[in-house]
Amino acid sequence: MLLWFNFGYSPFRFLFLLMALIALLVVVSHVIAALITVAITRANRGMLVFKTPTIHRHITTTRTFRGVTTKNALLTAIMLCVGCGTLYAAANTYEVLTRHNLPVVSVVKPVKLTNNPTYQEQLLSAYSAHYKAGEFGVPASITYPETGKTVDIVTAVTQHNQWLANNNLAQEFLAKQPIQKVFGLSVVYMRQGTLTIRDLGSVMQGDLIRVKTTKGWNLDYTVSEVSQHPSSLHITNSASVIEVIMVNNTSGAISCFTGSLQNVGGRD
């Protein structure tokens, strides 16, 4: 597993490697201890059989040996399971901290935001441009109108030109220069249907979406368009726009909407 990602220096990767090494050392030490116990038990069995001439004592000693061996095997299996669980937890922690995808876990995984190759290139190009945010900052959370649920937002990350998505957070990047003090166009995407991002309710044209920024501003966006294909959305507004792309966690089906800035509320 450790060979499945780039070993470029990072404090988080060092922490992950340290946790994995500790887990491996714990498992190996327990297995060695179990093997030593089995070897000692077998030696004791031979001594006991030699010193017990009666059939009854021989059978009792054999049963005792089998019982001890079974307990040792069970203990070894438990230790292996605990070690594997520790490694899996370490891998999950690594993904959460670095948002780097590992094949063995699903906290972070690649998602497809569009089936249109041209639009995919446009999104990647916008992501690479590193547009400025403006004085109001970038989206830090989004609240859905029907259910009132809020999803936290973090900066988007790509790996090998694939969009990576956390299972309990939305991701965001800017695709236009700021308009006055507010970001021009923010593209937000998320995996919908995970343990935390689910039952968000429907989004209809005319709904009001509340966005809180990293600078503490509360911005209200009116949904102007709803679609199943992000490339079909027409973003020509001169005001600040938010584009939200939701990818079904099971089927990969895409739904999306855009909202135009309606009101700038107070600052927390």
Side-chain half-sphere exposure of 224, counting CA atoms within 13 A: 18
Calpha distance 28→18 (Å, rounded): 15
Query: Does the pLDDT at position 6 exceed 60?
Result: no
Question: DSSP characters for 177-236?
Answer: --BTTB-SEEEEEEEETSSSS-------TT-EEEEEETTSEEEEEEEEEEES-GGG----
Q: Kindly provide the residue ranges of all beta strands, DSSP E only, lying in the chain, ordered along the sequence.
A: 108-111, 139-143, 150-155, 157-159, 162-166, 170-174, 185-192, 208-213, 217-227, 241-248, 254-267
In a domain, 103, yes or no: no
Q: Kindly indicate the confidence band of residue 225, based on its pLDDT and cuts at 50, 70 and 90.
A: very high
Percentage above 70 pLDDT, the chain? 62
Q: Kindly indicate the confidence band of residue 205, based on its pLDDT and cuts at 50, 70 and 90.
A: very high
Look at residue 102 in the predicted model and tell me its pLDDT. Answer: 47
Q: Report which residue type is found at 168.
A: N
In a domain, 114, yes or no: yes
**Residues 89 and 176 occupy one common structural domain:** no
Terminal-residue alpha carbon distance, the chain: 44
Look at residue 232 in the predicted model and tell me its pLDDT. Answer: 83
Q: Which of 59, 75, 98 is the last residue of a domain?
A: 98
Q: With beta carbons less than 8 A apart as the criterion, state whether 149 and 199 touch.
A: yes
Query: Does the pLDDT at position 220 exceed 50?
Result: yes
Query: In this structure, what CATH number is given to the domain that contains residue 198?
Result: 2.40.260.10
Question: What tens digit of pLDDT does each residue of 233-250 get?
Answer: 877 777 899 999 999 999
Q: Which domain holds residue 164?
A: 108-267
Q: With beta carbons less than 8 A apart as the criterion, state whether 101 and 164 touch.
A: yes
**Which is higher by pLDDT, 105 or 62?**
62
**Residues 87 and 166 occupy one common structural domain:** no
Mean pLDDT of 93-113: 61
**Residues 227 and 170 occupy one common structural domain:** yes
Provide the number of structural domains found in the chain.
2
**Residues 25 and 116 occupy one common structural domain:** no
Query: Does the pLDDT at position 258 exceed 90?
Result: yes
Mean pLDDT of 196-221: 92
Mean pLDDT of 10-36: 65
**Residues 85 and 131 occupy one common structural domain:** no
Query: Does the pLDDT at position 83 exceed 50?
Result: yes
**What is the Cα gyration radius of the chain?**
28
**Which is higher by pLDDT, 39 or 96?**
39
Look at residue 42 in the predicted model and tell me its pLDDT. Answer: 60
**Residues 174 and 217 occupy one common structural domain:** yes
Look at residue 238 in the predicted model and tell me its pLDDT. Answer: 78
Look at residue 73 in the predicted model and tell me its pLDDT. Answer: 62
Please report where in the chains the tokens 């009101």 appear, as a residue. Answer: 263
**Residues 94 and 199 occupy one common structural domain:** no
Structure tokens of 189? Answer: 């995407």
Q: Kindly indicate the confidence band of residue 139, based on its pLDDT and cuts at 50, 70 and 90.
A: very high
Calpha distance 47→96 (Å, rounded): 54
Q: With beta carbons less than 8 A apart as the criterion, state whether 144 and 209 touch.
A: yes
Look at residue 236 in the predicted model and tell me its pLDDT. Answer: 73
